[in-house]
Chains A and B, each alone.
Chain A
């Protein structure tokens, strides 16, 4: 009973946040690259909150069409530390719509300077059900068979997982090149699972226009990402693993909204044949200051 009330409250909170994202106009611009799986070393500006929805659409072999959305609340705790909360849900055709869990993650830049290769440590705790289909990462022997299971069965499986990533990222001549090494462990008796994600993006034009515009080339970022599983400690092999390659495009819209889209193509029989991803992001400036005065930039800054 309590669980149903909690889910209803959560649904309302999600809707409110989505409406706020759509309606409120006094905010800043999202800065991130249009990656869906790969992380770069860009962190949220301190004191800012970005709300982003990442939706994956696909159809596993022998299963029904599904749409899974991860709603991401990303807060810049410090210039070198970003905290995120994900709320996941999915709807499967001919089946049901359900909340599939939450994740809490932290990204920390250990080096205070910009280098040729910038490391970021990523630590995440996931509390999701087996019905989660957001595909925010691919690890171990994840495959389309996992996505074809009926919701009624899949939701009975509870996953309490810890995930560690080493993010390496470089900005070279207006290109961002990022590599992620992923390890994931179900906190029950299960092996460590491994995965990877790599990506590269670049704005279509480097210099900004001297007039406000929506369709200028510099408002678009294009690139690609590739990601997949690398087996687990029981079978550290690429056999029966999923791998995807996905072109990406990001569009910085007026009023601080960012839209991104990526069609992904499975490279192995274990992978989904295609997965389409749509992202919509909106950034609220300096919300830290709403609660406790000035926060974020501290003495020193850019003077």
Chain B
């Protein structure tokens, strides 16, 4: 009985470590030159306002108006992971998307608009 409980705990711990590794791996894929980029629109309230409109046009349909996702398949954008990411990490991710997991690439948006979305996301954390 004791051995079975220990096995269950070990499996759960391994799973948690694996999930953590996969989650953090998302930002580890970001090239160094992109990781260090800083949002040129930081501190401009108009950028966050414009970003809010862009969010409504392009992101809200999946991530919901409150940016909390659906708690299941559409992830929340008010998360520790997003707060911990650099501006450059998020810009890279928006540009690349994650096609295999349903996140489209937003490279078709002008770069300035991607930075505006990031300014908005920062403002709601």
Contact = CB atoms under 8 A, between A and B. Distances in A.
Contact of B53 (A31, A208, A296): A208
Interface in A187-213: 203, 206-212
A270 interface: no
A48 B59 CA distance: 12
A257 interface: no
Given A296-B62, A301-B62, A303-B81, A206 B103 contact: no
A46 interface: yes
Interface string A23-47: 0000011010100000010110110
Contacts of A43: 104
Given A45-B104, A300-B75, A206 B82 contact: no
Given A302-B77, A303-B75, A297 B112 contact: no
Interface residues of B, number: 45
Interface string B11-37: 000000000000100100000000000
Contacts of B72: 294
B113 interface: yes
Contacts of B51: 208
Contacts of A297: 62, 73-75, 101-103
A210 B75 contact: no
B123 interface: no
A294 B98 contact: no
Contacts of A260: none
A3 interface: no
Given A79-B98, A174-B110, 5 more contacts: A109-B99, A114-B105, A171-B107, A206-B112, A211-B53
Interface of A: 28-29, 31, 33, 40, 42-43, 45-46, 48, 78-80, 109, 112-114, 171, 173-174, 176, 203, 206-212, 218, 285-286, 294, 296-303
Which 3 pairs show the lowest CB-CB distances between chains A and B?
A: A300-B101, A303-B75, A210-B49
22 contacts: A33-B108, A43-B104, A48-B61, A78-B99, A109-B99, A112-B99, A114-B105, A171-B107, A174-B111, A174-B112, A206-B113, A207-B116, A209-B50, A218-B113, A294-B74, A297-B102, A298-B101, A300-B103, A301-B63, A301-B98, A302-B63, A302-B93
